[in-house]
Structure 1
Amino acid sequence: MKTWNISRQKNYSAIFKILCSITLVFFCLHVFEMIPSKRLYGDQNRSVMKEITRRQLEGENDSEKRKNVNLTNHDPVNTTAEVQLNTAKRLKERKRNYDDLKKISEFSKHVNRINTEPIRNSSGADRNVDIIQSFKKSSQHKIKNQEIVEFRKYVYMKNYQRIKNYDGVNCLKIVKNDQNEITKSKRLMRNLEHQRQKLTTTFYLNITRNCSKFRHERGYINHPMSEDEYDFPLAFSLLTYTDIELTERLLRLIYRPHNFYCLHIDSKMSKNDKRTLRNIANCLSNVLIANESIDVKWGNISLIKAELACMKTLWLYKNWKYYINLAGQEFPLKTNRQIVAILKELDGANIVSGSAEKARTVYAKRYKMAKSPPPHNITLAKGSMHVAVNRYFVDFCLHDQRSLDFLDWLKQTKIPDEFYFSSLNYNPHLGIKGSFTGK
């Protein structure tokens, strides 16, 4: 009996030594992992690191509790094997979390580097910044599905700005069309005490002297929000002629570092306004200024020419999938991620409103003064000039002779911008991919 007790004590002593050795090794690994990670990731990723470390420590504490409870019910030899197996699993899990966080950090630093590259020419004509090559995807920077949640959380917290609502307006009720809350908000907006000061050109000229400060204080998102968005870049055109603040606000809301943007500056704008828009574009590497500045007039062919000027500027960049044209006074109702999801479902089809019947009946007086019918057997369709079209459509507008002939014919008509895109899209015999028949 005495011999058996001595043997049992020796076994427990061996187990205790093993546990102490494992604890010491584990502590050393923890220290040597955390020190280089802080050096690699910097302040911007420490919040993510702390969260992952907290989860690891919680998991280890739970594991230690379960192990201590089971020690009295297991054979000493089997317990030692179990401890070694659990230790191997924890080390493997720690390494996986470390590698995942490293990929996120490397991808973040990669995008930040692109956004801070110097730009030598704000016109976009002779830029040496190869945006396409800079954002070329590689296996090293690929965001896996399991990383997206942590990555989006990090980006959200980095760009989070608390909304100041001193008057107790319930935004959720406004979204749900609560008329009492809407009336209350309108009454507050009419009160001069609640009317905020507009941001002037002087403000923008001063803040754009430091591009990093401009991007940070104005809240520009400088990371792809998801892998789907990164894989499906878009091109936007903004036609602006007035109100710099509204234009910049729209640009900020739709801005993503992997998309492409073209600003058409109306020739009627003042020199100060033009300089302000160019300074804003200089601070964002994927925002371009249209090479041609046109005097845009409503109901005139000049509207189409301004759109084509931005199409030409954006056409040089081969990575985007869809072209979306906007006016400087619009406001987005969908996020970039939602827009991408919708366009992917279209599978290459264009979003162009139009009706051949309305063009033939209600709006026939707009083109009756033309001396000849539309060229190339084109059937007119009445729609909107605001579209979301694929690259094939843009290619046809810029380079196909039939499109150029049709544009010349439209110069004889009234409000030609409401016929141009619709008619091209609703005539499938032209062979534009993504077009369809309008009725």
Structure 2
Amino acid sequence: MITTNEGKIKREEFFEVMQKILPGSSYVELDQLFERLDIKKSGAIDYEELLHSAAGENFLKNILGLEDDNSSVKALSPRKHVNLNSFQTGSGNKPHTHVHNRNNSNGSFVVKGGNLPTHTKKRDSMESIGSSIAEAESDQGGPWRRSQRTMLVHSDTHHPKDLDTIHQMKLQLQNLREDNKKAKPLEKELRELRSAMDVMKSDNQRLELQYDDVKKELEAVQSERSELQQQNEKLELHCKQMENRMESAVVQPTTNEEDRLDQIQKLETTILELRKDTDTLSEQEQSMHRTSSTQRDRIQTLELQNTQLQQQLSTMANRLSEQSDTSEGLQFELLRTQDFLHKRMKSAIHLKQEVIQLLKRLGFFFFLFFFFFFFFNKQIFKYVYEPSPKNKQENNIQFRVKRLSRNMSLEAIKLANEATVQFDLFFFHPPLLQQ
């Protein structure tokens, strides 16, 4: 399955590849994915442009969840993990495009912003959680800082395997780009060889036509030669007849004068006829010599052309065999490169599944963390700290913080599930994600 028309994959070939990798996908989904990858809308996917252009690189980063910074291993971490670092610095150093407003009636936070893309809203929601915790910390105090450090230590030590997997995937993508660069001159050479083979085939057809013309001319010359031989035989027969007539014209001498005169007249008449016939025969013989010499020259010329054409045909056959061997080798290299591409795509799918599992584990971890944290705080406030009228306001704050933390844990689980669905939509249904 060679797809390359100057490094492009057509629609039918793309469907064949994706049905092998994703056998459960429908035709409509694959068609939508093809339209997504066809940047120029030319009816074919330019995978070289996807691998080397900024748009293609952003597309792969969005699929794999990579950061834009490629200078360190930390840049390979998922975006959600990087956004969790906002717990440590409040709302972070990055400027927000939305405003956090606190609703005093129910103790929740409302996020207001413009018409942002879906994945941008999810990222800003995670940053809003960090800013909310920072505000609660300013009211509550020290235990929040210790809990944040504990959570970050657990989260950093939770998925080194996933970071290694993502790092290996990025190395595989770099190797894939290098293989693509190596295969690009091979494709150019293959195109040149194919064009040369087309030229050689046209030359071969032209030589075969010339060879057929030469064969026809040889057949015509042989037919003319046979006709000349028949004419020569006729002339030889005529000469024999004339000789017989001359012999019959010679008679025995007689003593009668009148008979002698008659015989002399007959001989003179016969001699005149013989001279005329001889002149005619000599002219015919000369024309036959001229024709035979011309035909001989033509035969020699045609034989020489036939020899040259046979040599050219043998040379062209050898070149065609060599070109076909080279073309088969290049096609084998291209097939091997395509198999390598298929393996890399399967690895990307496996990486996507691991990232989904990581997001689920992170959501479960947030739920357990907030549950145990507020459970122990409740016990401490219940048995150590006795409420008094002076501390009613602090108890109200504690109740509000508890309710806020419960809402935040539920929102964290919800965001983890939404991130999983969003990842699915981005990989399998990119047009739906645009809508």
Please indicate the TM-score interval, normalised by the length of the shorter structure.
Answer: under 0.3
Q: Which has the higher helix share?
A: 2
Instruction: Say which one has the larger Rg.
Output: 2
Q: Which of structures 1 and 2 has the larger relative contact order (alpha carbons within 8 angstroms, sep 6+)?
A: 2
TM-score by length of 2: 0.22
TM-score by length of 1: 0.22
